Amino acid sequence: MLGILVNRLDQHFANGDARHSLAGWRRFVAEFWYFGIKEARACLFAGLFFAAVFAVPRAGVFGVPRYDVLLILALGIQAWMLYAKLETWDEFKAIMLFHLMGFALEAFKVSANVRSWTYPDFAYSKVMDVPLFAGFMYAAVGSYIIQVWRALDLRVVHHPPYWMTGVVAVALYVNFFTHRYIGDYRWTLGAIALGLYARCWVEFRPLDRTRRMPLILGLILVGFFIWLAENAGTFFGLWKYPNQIGAWTNVHLGKWSSWTALTLLTFAIVVNLKHVKERIHLAP
């Protein structure tokens, strides 16, 4: 039933007929409303997953530990999205790549020599001290970018050459591992990315007219909302940073830059999907 409703909503979004009667503040309100609804639609996987995070008690369900319940629910949500044709198999493969990359990063960050954060609860599905559901938090970012591409009819103008953005994206990912040993080059790589994407704009359609914004601004905003979601995750005790062991405190604002870097990496992978690549205009 939910899949049918979402598909009907997508069909409604696809109607780009001009609304000539809308003008002034009425147009602003209408476009802002549709933009918000489409963003919420694009967050379908993330929204359902975080609803599960809030709903599943820390003690688990019927004797099944919380982390294991979340893994089962995440797998169920993903299977349902495929069954309801809300994602294609190519998109699913890309999302699973984000899952694997996220798990590898998590395994490094919780290792005994690093301990950037911990997952304090017991789970049968823990591997290398990382519950397997954790990779779906990274997959949710990929799912959002894929879904928003359709919902807002995105186009990218003046995109840098793919090989350049690919090198920067790989370097940002590697830096998550190497910064403890050879220095943190996040800001240097961020400055290079800013230069690469300086002329890059994303065009989107909230309603019937095309709007645009700098792509780098969009990535920064996505990173900020992920940072907010991370605060919610730590508040509910899903994982903890060292400074949150005694009592909860907000996640350091510096993590915003890390999530922005991860969003840029995710975007660099998504643009290689065939149906997305058709909507990319490379800079001359």
Give the tens place of pLDDT for each residue, 85-103: 888 888 888 888 888 999 9
- Helix or strand or coil: residue 72? helix
Comparison of pLDDT for 2 and 217, the residue scoring more? 217
Tokens 């996220």 belong to residue = 102
Among 9-23, 61-75, 162-176, 253-267, the least confident range: 9-23
Q: Which pLDDT score is estimated for 274?
A: 63
Q: What would the mean pLDDT of 3-12 be, rounded to a whole number?
A: 71
pLDDT higher than 80, residue 156:
yes
pLDDT higher than 70, residue 275:
no
Q: What would the mean pLDDT of 238-256 be, rounded to a whole number?
A: 84
d(CA 77, CA 61): 18
Comparison of pLDDT for 236 and 110, the residue scoring more? 110
Q: Which pLDDT score is estimated for 284?
A: 62
Give the tens place of pLDDT for each residue, 187-218: 899 999 999 999 999 999 888 888 999 999 99
Q: What is the 3-state secondary structure (H, E, C) of 221-258?
A: HHHHHHHHHHHHHHHCCCCECHHHCCCCCCCCCCHHHH
Average pLDDT, the chain: 87
Q: What would the mean pLDDT of 109-129 be, rounded to a whole number?
A: 90
Q: Residue 201: enclosing H or E segment and its boundaries?
A: strand 201-204
| Tokens matching residue 177 | 């591992």
| pTM summary value | 0.87
Amino acid letter at 253? L
